[in-house]
Copies of this chain bind each other. A is one copy, B any other.
Amino acid sequence: MKAEIIAVGSELLTPDRIDTNSLFLTAQLNRLGIEVVRKSIVGDEPNNLQREFRAALELADVIIVSGGLGPTEDDLTREALAAVLQRPLVQDDEILKDIEEKFQRFGRVMPQINTKQALVPVGAIVLPNSRGTAPGLWVENGTKIVVLLPGPPSELEPMFIEKVIPRLEMRVTGARLNQRALRVTGMGESAVDQAIAPIYKGYRDVQTTLLHFPGEIHVYLRLWSPDQAAAEKRLDEMVERMRLALGESLFTTKGEDMELVVARELTWHGATIAVAESCTGGLLAERLSRQPGSSSHFLGGVVSYANELKSGWLDVTKELIDTKGAVSAEAAKAMAEGVRRRSGATLGLAVTGIAGPTGGTPEKPVGTVHIALADSEGVQEKMFRFPGDRGRIRGQAAVAAMDMVRRYYLHHPGRKAQ
């Protein structure tokens, strides 16, 4: 089965907005074994919409349309589809009642304009919207399926998962997608490619894609196959070979965020952590607290942007900063030890560096970052030179800091909290 995804909305044709619903929809469709052969973005204009629907009905078996289901005169998706399929629009009394009730619940009377949202092409199946007023529609035309969904991701995503996938699953036959998502840190994109190219070149049936993010390279392996067991086995074998080639730099094969990997290690070891950061400005703490439940192992930290705070909150002496500099191995170590001591955490993690664009010197250029990790027995430190702009340097530093914790537990697998 082949699918086309159409995003409707003039705002999606501006330089400020991009259609991201199609990424979610593609992932979901692929998992069902449905390939996306085309995506398009059209404005709220009746002729263009109709032309788009006609072209899609020629090309694809399943057409997923998002947006243009609202109550205003700009919302024309329903009308355009009805025109193309030559089906009259009729009022669905249940939808109307449902919308009226939603307004009543907020103590308001439904504006006349919203009655439009109760119009459906004859023969369409209504997909109720639990998060908004616009219902979705499932319309079959011969062997073709057209699904209209509301544009906001918070409405589209649950509707697709709850109402559309079960209907599509009944239709699907044949190949399904099997995949792995490897993530690597501490290596550049070309180094990763050099390490794994000899492997993936031997698996021509597996689609291998490398993408780079601040501090991380993601490697996606995708294999379409009607035989899931064989495909899974083949991917497992490929992943094991890549694991050998990448070594410790590979930190997940399941697309997990670094903070999740670190949280698991800390929880497993019954350990807690506190952070002291300057150039990352709170980003490291924000990453470590992003996961629900992170308060069980993340105690907090200090953002010591001003040097005075490094002494007041972290006991880093003015003398040390004056002699070694705020961006130095010594300062990083003192910050890590200070935050560990002052917080009572098992581990103290510190980052100090120059995120730029100003503040660099020939000896310490922009991108110079020191990261230190203290435990009850001592403190280790490492210096990095990160490329890129302020945002990228901060992102890479936060990942490298979390990675130091991950590698610490790789080398101290039995270490328990003190």
Contacts and interface: CB of A to CB of B under 8 A. Distances in A.
Interface of A: 10-18, 20, 22-24, 26-27, 30, 35-43, 45, 48, 51-52, 55, 59, 181, 207, 209, 211, 218, 220, 222, 272, 274-275, 278, 280-290, 292-295, 298-306, 308-309, 312-313, 342-344, 356-358, 390-391
A13 B39 contact: yes
27 contacts: A11-B220, A12-B39, A14-B26, A14-B222, A15-B27, A16-B181, A16-B218, A18-B18, A18-B20, A38-B43, A39-B41, A40-B41, A280-B286, A281-B285, A281-B286, A282-B301, A282-B303, A286-B286, A292-B356, A292-B357, A292-B390, A300-B306, A302-B303, A303-B303, A308-B343, A308-B344, A313-B342
Contacts of A41: 38-40
B283 A286 contact: yes
A174 B301 CA distance: 56
Given A282-B284, A293-B358, A300-B306, A48 B43 contact: no
Contacts of A20: 18
Given A278-B300, A282-B285, A295-B306, 15 more contacts: A11-B211, A13-B35, A14-B222, A18-B18, A38-B42, A38-B43, A39-B40, A281-B298, A290-B390, A299-B309, A300-B304, A300-B309, A306-B343, A313-B313, A313-B342
A303 B305 contact: no
Scoring A40, A42, A272 by chain B CB atoms within 10 A of each residue's CB, the highest score goes to: A40
A30 B15 CA distance: 8
Contacts of A274: 309
Given A15-B27, A38-B48, A59-B51, A288 B299 contact: no
Contacts of A286: 280-283, 285-286
Contacts of A284: 282
Nearest to A298: B305
Contacts of A357: 292
Contacts of A45: 37
A30 B16 CA distance: 11
A300 B298 contact: no
Contacts of A356: 292
A306 B274 CA distance: 10
Contact of A312 (B287, B304, B343): B343
A239 to B, nearest CB: 17
A305 B289 contact: yes
Scoring A10, A48, A286, A390 by chain B CB atoms within 10 A of each residue's CB, the highest score goes to: A286
A312 B220 contact: no
A221 B14 CA distance: 12
A313 to B, nearest CB: 6
Contacts of A358: 292-293
B59 A11 contact: no
The 7 A-B pairs of least Cβ separation, nearest first, read A281-B289, A282-B285, A15-B27, A282-B286, A282-B282, A300-B305, A40-B40
Given A18-B23, A344-B308, A289 B300 contact: no
A300 B302 contact: yes
Contacts of A55: 51, 55
Nearest to A3: B13
B13 A36 contact: yes
B38 A40 contact: yes
A301 to B, nearest CB: 5
A337 to B, nearest CB: 15
A312 to B, nearest CB: 6
A37 B26 contact: no
Given A282-B282, A292-B356, A300-B306, A16 B343 contact: no
